[in-house]
Amino acid sequence: MASTLGLAWLVSSSKRRPGDSSNLPSLVVDCSAYNRSHKSKFVRGTLVVGDPLKIDWVEPEEIHGISYFPKVSVLYRLNDAKEEKEDWTPSADKASASFPKGSLEKMLRAHTVEITADDKSGSQVVMQFDMPDAAAIEQGCYVDEHK
């Protein structure tokens, strides 16, 4: 049985028309209980932007033949801390990107998260999210915000 827990969000982006809530960016956390213990576990976190994102082709750490991986470069800032840069995996439609459990654990410690990514034309999209109480996500996805 899969469950999806959504996070509360606040958008701060000059790309959105006032009153257009159909395309507002969101953070979505997917959890699933497909394991022997029947505890829900983190499956993926997704930043849903709605507009196609700029895709960079990144060389893997180990090269086995000629292959590069598509990635979305993001900067994120927790509260007023220093920005962190990560490469996240784009979705097939390139309008969203998946982030790892470690990034979610960091985000859950914050009150606000500001995420910046480039759209396909190279323009910056800046999104700000007010983070909810972490208890529901911690319990529902078996993640530890205190790491």
**Predicted confidence (pLDDT) per residue in 12-35, tens digit:** 343 444 445 456 788 888 887 666
Instruction: Compute the residue count for the chain.
Output: 147
Encode pLDDT of 39-88 as tens digits: 777 888 899 888 899 999 877 666 666 677 899 999 999 998 999 999 99
Q: Name the nearest CA neighbour of 137 among 32, 43, 31, 48.
A: 31
* Cα(131)–Cα(117) distance, integer angstroms: 19
Cα 114 to Cα 7: distance, rounded to the nearest angstrom = 14
pLDDT recorded at residue 73: 95
Give the containing element (helix H, strand E) for 74.
Answer: strand 69-78
DSSP-derived secondary structure letter, 36: T
pLDDT at 76: 95
- Backbone phi and psi for residue 68, each to the nearest 5 degrees, phi listed first: -125, 155
